Structure 1
Amino acid sequence: MILMTLIAAAAAVFIYRRYIPVAGIEPVGEKPENKTVIDLRDFNESYKTPITGALNIPVAYLKRYHQEIPRDNLHIIASNKVEKNMGARVLREKGFHVCSYSIPEKKSFV
């Protein structure tokens, strides 16, 4: 019974960190003024469509390279909602103030 409770608790934490939206972060369509822009997309994706002036640190590297991020208001760019949620939570755990986010449209090649 205790094992089932531990498994359920671990699953709940996993689902919360990935899929429950982070409160207080607003979607923004354009690059915001007076905010540091952090590109959380994978290197392969950010290389194809670079964001001028953005600091590119993929979500997988945030815990290792968070010292490189200035202590300003942050705007994050992510490729999807899961990446946005995980990145915002890691940044908040490290003491950063994430204000807004954007998810660029993917261009489909037909």
Structure 2
Amino acid sequence: MFGDMMGMMNKLKEAQKKVEETKERLNTVLLDQSSNDNKLSVTITANRTIKSLRIDDELLEDKEMLEDYLILTLNKAIEKASKVNEAELAAVAKEGMPNIPGMDMFK
């Protein structure tokens, strides 16, 4: 039984290391999101860090419109990045979890 516990502990440590490595890798996964008319575009990492922003000159003439574009496009980009982030981390966590009876959390 003690050997099983040590094996599970080692497997959990290994899973934790893989999760941390995945988080680091997600810093390099770039996602692009544009407004419907391409007047604003953003590049964001899967860890939800904005890397670049492109704004059409037309939007610079109307502060209110620019704010609306920023809110809509940034929210879409964050949502897309969150989905990628969660899917990647869930896959790594599921792969690394030891088989503990009654702990089928990732079905």
| Fold shared by both chains (TM-score > 0.5) | no
Higher alpha-carbon Rg? 2
**Superposition TM-score, scaled by structure 2 size:** 0.30
